[in-house]
Amino acid sequence: MDAAPPPPPRKLPRDARRKQLIEATIEVVAERGYARTTLTEVARKAGLSHGLVNFHFQTKESLLTETLAYMSEEYRDNWGRALEAAGPEPEEQLDALIRADFNPEICTPNRLAAWCAFWGEASCRPLYQEKCGSNDEAYIALLERLAQELAAKTGRGGDAALMARVIRVVMEGVWVDLMTQSAAYSREEGQRTVHCAVSALFPQLFGPDGLR
């Protein structure tokens, strides 16, 4: 018996379709909000048929869950890569994290709006914990380590956990501002705002434009 020629790869189109649908979901959630996101609209945005969404993701909840996980991974990959590329000093690493946070590929209006939508929706929170909790914890732990090292290095006292938290919520808050149409300031000014906070905490190492 002749060996049949290898069938065309099945897994690739499958994953491509899933990614296509997830990207469409991000757009729809960003545009219409969580409450008004429907599978029909997602399918329309992706240019696919309604039934296909349920074929690839069995339920709506599953689609949203996987979208959230996708964004969380993407976010973690982003700061992970930035960290690897950065120098060994804590101030270099913190600077890399901040710049990564404002990476134009991640810090997109749609991405930001989608984050906020998932975040505001109470029913997503347990889900969020499950899917993204570990990523978040890793990020927080990293920030705390860096804050600790920076505090030690600059001889400055204070609670490193609090400082780490200040840095984190400033970054988050600027994100949210950027997403709100009204608070209209640029991504650059957002970054300067984070630098303002960091330079207040570690004035020897950071200035208004970042790493000294």
Partner DNA sequence: GATGAATGAGCCTTCATTCAT
Partner DNA sequence: GATGAATGAAGGCTCATTCAT
If the CB atoms of residues 6 and 157 are measured against DNA, the closer one turns out to be 6
Among 14, 196, 209, 212, indicate the residue that binds its own copies (CB under 8 A).
Answer: 196
If the CB atoms of residues 81 and 134 are measured against its own copies, the closer one turns out to be 134
Please tell me the number of Cα atoms within 13 Å of 101 on its side-chain side: 26
Long-range interactions of 141-150: CB distance < 8 A, separation 24+ = 142/83, 142/97, 143/94, 143/97, 143/167, 143/168, 145/90, 146/90, 146/93, 146/94, 146/97, 147/201, 149/90, 150/90, 150/91, 150/94, 150/201, 150/202, 150/205
Q: Looking at residues 176 to 195 of the shown chain, list those that interact with its own copies (rule: CB under 8 A).
A: 176-177, 180-182, 189, 192-193
If the CB atoms of residues 86 and 115 are measured against its own copies, the closer one turns out to be 115
User: Which string of x and - marks every residue 104-123 that binds its own copies (by CB under 8 A)?
Assistant: ---------x--xxxxxxxx
Instruction: Please tell me whether residue 207 adopts helix, strand or coil conformation.
Output: strand
Dist. CA 112–CA 109, nearest whole Å: 5
Give Cα 40 to chain centroid, integer Å: 26
Kindly state whether residue 39 participates in binding DNA, applying the rule CB under 7 A.
Answer: yes
- Specify the stretch interacting with DNA by CB under 7 A; choose among 31-39, 68-76, 88-96, 121-129: 31-39
Angle at alpha carbon of residue 69, lines to 143 and 167, rounded to 5°: 20
Kindly state whether residue 53 participates in binding its own copies, applying the rule CB under 8 A.
Answer: no
- Which neighbouring-strand residues pair with 160? none
Among 26, 30, 38, 209, indicate the residue that binds DNA (CB under 7 A).
Answer: 38
The contact set with its own copies (CB under 8 A) reads: 30-36, 113, 116-125, 129, 133, 158-159, 162-163, 165-166, 168-170, 172-174, 176-177, 180-182, 189, 192-193, 196-197, 200-201, 208
The contact set with DNA (CB under 7 A) reads: 9-14, 17, 36-40, 48-56, 58-61
